Structure 1
Amino acid sequence: MDSGAIRRRLGTGLALLIASGLLAVAAPGEAQAAGTSCPGRKVRTVPFSTGSVQVYRSGGTVCAFTLAKNPGRKRTMAVSVQARGHRPVPYSGKHKRKTLTVSVYAGHRCVKVTGRVGGGSGASGWILC
């Protein structure tokens, strides 16, 4: 193989690598398993005795996480988002301040969010209808 062919193959491989990286960054919200923050704008806060659930919306995607009122020691925290007509998408784990995010594609459906920090919990009922 001559050096021109090697350069063309390296250039093609580099272009494919860059394109796949850009696609991964531009992936829609429902493709992101769990992250540390939600895209879009904040649309609701559901308060309860030990914390709150923060709800964000970007297009048809609804994202939520639970935030502790008094961060400190690790304790069990949970968040769940359910689009009407579908099963809830839950997350729970031990955290100090906030849970990882849960995102669902709801389109124009109503959603229900729930959250729990330690012994306190809260639920929204059907919102964003």
Structure 2
Amino acid sequence: MDSGAIRRRLALGAAVLAASGALALAAPGTASAATDGCAGREVRTLPFGAGAVHVYKRGGYVCAVTVARDPGTRRVMSVSVQARGNRPVVERGRFTHHAGPVTVHAGQRCVWVKGSVNGDSVSSGWILC
């Protein structure tokens, strides 16, 4: 595959992700508050003191969201998903309710999920293998 074909495939993938994000934002109230933008079925919940990380799977895609236990005040939160062999996809910032969603294509590979709220954190180890 030449570099032009690779660029076209990457551009198509980015366009599909952008369109799916736009649809999720254009249809508020159709997704439950628990999913916070992740598609698929919930396969894991990783609870910790200040919140929980919810992990969803659909096809070969894995999505995660960190949700604060007590929403309302702006605080530092993060969520990260890494498919084995790839770099992690991370969202970090100051949020009132949740960080994420972040989605990776894992195929049949294991993933490592991390989440934090105000320094309190959880890390899954390799899961969904």
TM-score, normalised on structure 1? 0.73
Mapping 1:83-122, distance limit 5 Å: 83-122=83-122
Instruction: Specify the alignment match of 2:74 in structure 1.
Output: 74
Residue identity opposite 1:108 in structure 2: Q
Structure 1 segments (4+ residues) deviating >3 Å: 31-36
Task: Give SS of 1:80's match.
Answer: strand
CA distance in 1, matches of 2:90, 2:21: 14
Percent pairwise identity: 53
Task: Give SS of 1:72's match.
Answer: coil
Q: Number of residue pairs matched?
A: 104
Deviation at 1:32, TM superposition (A): 4.7
Residue identity opposite 2:88 in structure 1: P
Unaligned runs of at least 5 residues, structure 1:
1-26
CA distance in 2, matches of 1:65, 1:54: 5
Q: CA RMSD in A?
A: 2.6
When Rg is computed on C-alpha atoms for both structures, the one with the higher figure is: 1
CA distance in 1, matches of 2:60, 2:126: 16
Residue identity opposite 1:88 in structure 2: P
Mapping 1:9-48, distance limit 5 Å: 27=16, 32=21, 36-48=36-48
Deviation at 1:100, TM superposition (A): 2.5
Higher RCO (C-alpha 8 Å, min separation 6): 1
Residue identity opposite 1:67 in structure 2: V
Indicate the structure with greater strand content.
2
